[in-house]
Structure 1
Amino acid sequence: MEINDVQTWIKHFYGERGWASYSPFIRVGFLMEETGEVARAVRSYEIGRDRPDESIQSKDQLRQDLIEEIGDVLGNISLLADLYDISLEEAFTAHKQKLLKRFNL
């Protein structure tokens, strides 16, 4: 799936549920929440959680959790970009150009 197709799908899916109309400040809050969940998933994968109230998960389960949490971050990034009429392709292209210029490549 191409990046612009992903963004369109996310906008449609979230939109049908009324989740795409939140203000930028609320969307950033969701993004921060999901970023924290990525941090937790990375920690669990790398060093574990060591909590008696949580079951031990296999590396495959931990990896799947990380994949899902990264997807949640991407969904929120996509919706935030959409609020400002920015395509993910446009954002990535700008990021790439900035890095190439910064490192004289």
Structure 2
Amino acid sequence: MKLKDYQDWVSDFYKKRGWYDYNSFIRCNFLAEEVGELAQAVRKIEIGRDRPDEEEETKVEKLENIKEELGDVLDNIMILADKYQISLEEIMQSHQDKLIKRFE
């Protein structure tokens, strides 16, 4: 799937549910929440949780959780980019140019 196609699909999906209407400040808070969930998923696979009240997940389940949380983070980034009419390709190119200029 092409990034542009997915970004358009995500924006349409969020618009149909009224989730797109949240302002960018609120969207950044959703993004922060999802990054926290991603951090917890990574922690589970890297160092564990040591919680006797939680059932231990398999490595496959832990990896699926990481994939799910990365998707949630990505969707929030895509919505923010869309709200400012910035394509992901444009973001990637600009960021690559910055890193090359800074480190090469």
Task: Give TM-score, length-normalised by structure 1.
Answer: 0.96
Q: 2:44 — aligned with what?
A: 44
Deviations 1:20-61 (A, max 9, x none): 111011000000000000100000011111112211000000
User: Counterparts of 1:8-23 in structure 2 under 5 Å?
Assistant: 8-23=8-23
Q: 1:24 — aligned with what?
A: 24
Query: What percentage of residue pairs aligned between the two structures are identical?
Result: 54
Q: 1:80 — aligned with what?
A: 80
In structure 2, give the amino acid aligned to 1:16. Answer: K
C-alpha RMSD of the superposition: 0.7
Counterpart CA distance in 2 for 1:23 and 1:52 is 40
* Unpaired segments ≥5 residues, structure 2: none
Q: 1:2 — aligned with what?
A: 2
* Unpaired segments ≥5 residues, structure 1: none
Shift in Å at residue 6 of structure 1?
Answer: 1.2
In the alignment of these two chains, the number of paired residues is: 104
Counterpart CA distance in 2 for 1:92 and 1:44 is 29
User: Counterparts of 1:84-103 in structure 2 under 5 Å?
Assistant: 84-103=84-103
